[in-house]
Amino acid sequence: MYQLILSNVAKHISLTEEEELFFLSLLKLKTIKRKEFLLKEGGVSRYQTFVAKGCLRTYTIDDMGKEHIVMFSPEDWWSGDMYSFITGKPAAYTIDALVKTDIIQISKNNLEKLYEKIPKFERFFRMLFQNAFVIYQNRITSNLSQKANERHKQFIKTYPGLEQKIAQKYIASFLGVTPEFYSAMKQK
């Protein structure tokens, strides 16, 4: 599991062995069961979470009780309610596991220690957020201007292989269509 997060970090910065050890000493491993909550709307997000195995989903529930999925975090992705994590205010999102999921977490305090001791991590998270920004920008555009089948193509590009790993109803929800429509669309 540690190897996975080190490879994730190595995509953007190189660490010495000593730096790796310090980084790993700040992390916490956890396994969450299918349908277990990592965060509930209204709670406070105190961790940045890396997914080593499985898949998390981040969603919100509207006044009509309908779920809206904002993002998936499959293996090798990060997750968290960033607004709540930064401000310490109540989270707008709920995060749960779609399958049994192994995660690696870093608390806000430990992340500050990390930035202080190994400033290269500023670069790492700068690049991480930069990429997340691009993904979200695409998501906004495709919600605004694209047809469901275009959004489906975009989904496959963003999350290669995920379609086979999680229940179809979640993908339908992410795409903003009914499960029936999604299933008909897939067959075409």
Task: Kindly list the residues in this chain that would bind its own copies in the complex (CB under 8 A).
Answer: 60-62, 66, 68, 70, 82-83, 86, 92-93, 115, 119, 122-123, 125-126, 129-134, 136-141, 143-146, 176
From 108, 33, 45, 43, select the one nearest 79 (Cα to Cα). 45
- Of 134 and 184, the one with the shorter C-beta distance to its own copies is 134
- Of 77 and 93, the one with the shorter C-beta distance to its own copies is 93
Report CA-CA distances (Å) from 134 to 4, 75, 119, 127, 137: 23, 19, 24, 11, 5
Residue type, 152: H
Residue type, 74: P
Token digits of residue 119: 């400033």
From 31, 25, 103, select the one nearest 17 (Cα to Cα). 25
- Of 101 and 125, the one with the shorter C-beta distance to its own copies is 125
- Shortest distance in whole angstroms from residue 98 CB to its own copies: 18
- Of 29 and 156, the one with the shorter C-beta distance to its own copies is 156
- Shortest distance in whole angstroms from residue 70 CB to its own copies: 5
- Shortest distance in whole angstroms from residue 93 CB to its own copies: 8
- Shortest distance in whole angstroms from residue 33 CB to its own copies: 26
DSSP state string for 43-100: S---EEEEEEESEEEEEEE-TTS-EEEEEEEETT-EE--HHHHHH-SPPS-EEEESS-
- Of 36 and 116, the one with the shorter C-beta distance to its own copies is 116
- Distance (Å, rounded) from C-alpha 6 to C-alpha 2? 6
- Shortest distance in whole angstroms from residue 88 CB to its own copies: 13
